[in-house]
């Protein structure tokens, strides 16, 4: 059985389909999606419909990203959020205007069903963004940090590699789990378009919302697959800037 983790998708339905085809998903595979399925490219509803169908056929762990929550908030309240609209939300507003009430209700139920985190039998943590409590996710005071935090990744990036893991100076959060898999903060910010490991943290958000690909990685072997840069599938669109 392969355990395959997927980075941020951001409405790139065509890229996701190509990526799934590259992987050659089998019935024994476990698929773990780290969230941010929407906002950026024009096919967010198609991504959600596809994931709804996918989890009927395969074992899927579907986590919630901050953009999934932002869209859920808008679908259920219709309150304007100008900052969200500027950062990919407008593409979802435009796309969801074409859906029926029944379709929207189905998607609301999907977003409500998303998990905030997942720990496997080997003590590997999967979470969209991170967590802040030094005692781990069970002790987290602010559950929204699971899909908003950037400090976990920033801590891993800034860690002095000369500090021994047994030292009191070593960040406690980075000693709690065998490995941590995140998305949320694209590695394109540090000039990369492939998964990046820092300490025990693997970041598989390779910038699909911008000019990067969607990435999936085998958790055990670290083999990874990528779509083409997502903007190539949507040449008439700008994506997120």
Residue 80 has pLDDT above 90, yes or no: no
Q: Rounded to an integer, what distance in angstroms lies between the CA atom of residue 162 and that of residue 188?
A: 26
What are the backbone angles phi and psi of residue 59, rounded to the nearest 5°? -75, 115
Residues 6+ apart with CB under 8 A from 150: 129, 130, 184, 185
pLDDT bracket for residue 48 (50, 70, 90):
very high
Residue 211 has pLDDT above 80, yes or no: yes
Per-chain mean pLDDT for the chain = 96
Residue 155 has pLDDT above 90, yes or no: yes
Q: Look at residues 40, 37, 61 and name the one whose alpha carbon lies nearest to residue 49.
A: 37
Residue 241 has pLDDT above 90, yes or no: no
What's the confidence (pLDDT) of residue 209? 95
Give yes or no for a contact between 171 and 155, defined as CB atoms under 8 angstroms apart. Answer: yes
Q: Report, as an integer, the average pLDDT of 86-111.
A: 96
How many Cβ atoms sit within 10 Å of the Cβ of residue 168?
7
b (16+ CB within 10 A) / e for 52-84: bebbeebebbbbbbbbbbbbbebbeeeeeeeeb
Question: Nearest 10 degrees: CA dihedral of 79, 82, 85, 87?
Answer: -140
pTM metric for this prediction:
0.97
Q: Rounded to an integer, what distance in angstroms lies between the CA atom of residue 137 and that of residue 125?
A: 9
What's the confidence (pLDDT) of residue 99? 96
What are the backbone angles phi and psi of residue 197, rounded to the nearest 5°? -105, 130
């Amino acid at each position: 059985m392969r355990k395959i983790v997927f980075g941020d998708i951001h409405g790139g339905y065509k890229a996701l389909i190509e990526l799934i085809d590259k992987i050659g998903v089998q019935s024994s595979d476990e698929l773990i999606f780290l969230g941010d399925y929407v906002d950026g490219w024009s096919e967010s509803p198609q991504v959600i419909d596809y994931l709804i169908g996918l989890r009927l056929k395969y074992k899927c762990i579907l986590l919630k990203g901050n953009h999934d929550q932002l869209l859920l908030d808008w679908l259920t309240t219709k309150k304007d959020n100008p900052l969200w609209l500027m950062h990919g939300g407008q593409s979802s507003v435009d796309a969801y205007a074409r859906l029926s009430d029944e379709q929207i209700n189905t998607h609301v139920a999907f977003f409500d069903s998303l998990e905030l985190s997942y720990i496997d039998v080997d003590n590997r943590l999967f979470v969209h963004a991170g967590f802040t409590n030094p005692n781990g996710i069970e002790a987290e005071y602010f559950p929204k940090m699971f899909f908003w935090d950037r400090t976990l990744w920033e801590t891993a990036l800034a860690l002095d590699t000369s500090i021994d893991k047994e030292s009191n100076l070593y960040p406690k959060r980075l000693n709690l789990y065998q490995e941590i898999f995140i998305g949320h903060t694209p590695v394109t910010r540090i000039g990369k378009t492939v998964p990046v490991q820092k300490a025990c943290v693997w970041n598989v958000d390779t910038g699909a919302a911008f000019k990067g690909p969607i990435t999936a990685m085998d958790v055990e072997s670290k083999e990874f697959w990528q779509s083409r840069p997502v903007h190539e599938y949507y040449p008439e669109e700008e994506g997120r800037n």
